[in-house]
Amino acid sequence: MLPFMDCRFPPLRQWLWALLWSTLFTALSLATLSTDKCFFLIHALSGSMAIGALVWVWLYFFFLLSNRTRVILLTGSALSIFLLVPHIDRMPAMAAESKALGELRSLREAAETYRKANPQQGYPAALLKRPSDQVSGLYKIEYQTFRATPAGPADSFLLQFTPLRCECGTFRSFAVTEDGKIHFAIWQRAAPATKADRTLE
């Protein structure tokens, strides 16, 4: 057996104290994070709950284990954080953009399905599905249709996702048209993406 492992089973009182302190510190951590609106917008409710659960589990074992094992736990966690630091600042933004792009494609596919089922009308006058609260909180969503002839069906459309909160790391605006190509633009230019912008590879 390794020297740092304690084979003694913790008494019930120690389990209860670990439960109390881990719950208390997790609640304090989430209360602190709640002051950052970007955190909950990017991670959404399910992601925030998952993070809270991981924090609770980590703290529970921290308070339950012996002092020697706590040192090992802290050392391993510190090394993991050190290795992740170069990527941490981009991970939330990448997750937000991935979510936005997924919904952008889904909304485009829904509009295309509607057009095929209703050739006399063409593309729907409004979005058929409501974007998630996470995406709606991070992006301004605009959808418009166009007609080649005034009396004809709506034969083209433009769907745009424009960042509302650049401080949350969403620096690119996106647009998709009836051809399925997704265009993007850096938001610093203060204008939404259009079909004249570069396309994603």
pLDDT tens digits, one per residue of 48-61: 777 788 888 888 88
Q: Which residue has the higher pLDDT, 92 or 155?
A: 155
Q: What's the pTM value of the predicted model, to 2 decimals? A: 0.63
pLDDT of residue 195: 87
pLDDT of residue 190: 58
Q: How many residues does the chain have?
A: 201
- Express the helix, strand and coil content of the chain in percent, nearest 5 each: 55, 15, 30
**pLDDT score of 78 more than 80:** no
Q: Which residue has the higher pLDDT, 46 or 27?
A: 27
Q: Which residue has the higher pLDDT, 160 or 167?
A: 160
152-156 long-range Cβ contacts below 8 angstroms, 24+ apart = 152/122, 153/115, 153/119, 153/120, 153/121, 153/122, 153/123, 154/115, 154/121, 154/122, 154/123, 154/124, 154/125, 155/122, 155/123, 156/123
Percent above pLDDT 90 for the chain: 30
- Tell me the C-alpha distance between 60 and 47, whole Å: 20
> Which tokens go with 175?
């647009």
Q: What is the CA radius of gyration of the chain?
A: 24
**pLDDT score of 123 more than 90:** yes
Q: Which residue has the higher pLDDT, 7 or 110?
A: 110
Average pLDDT rounded to a whole number, residues 139-145: 94
Q: Strand pairing partners for 147?
A: none
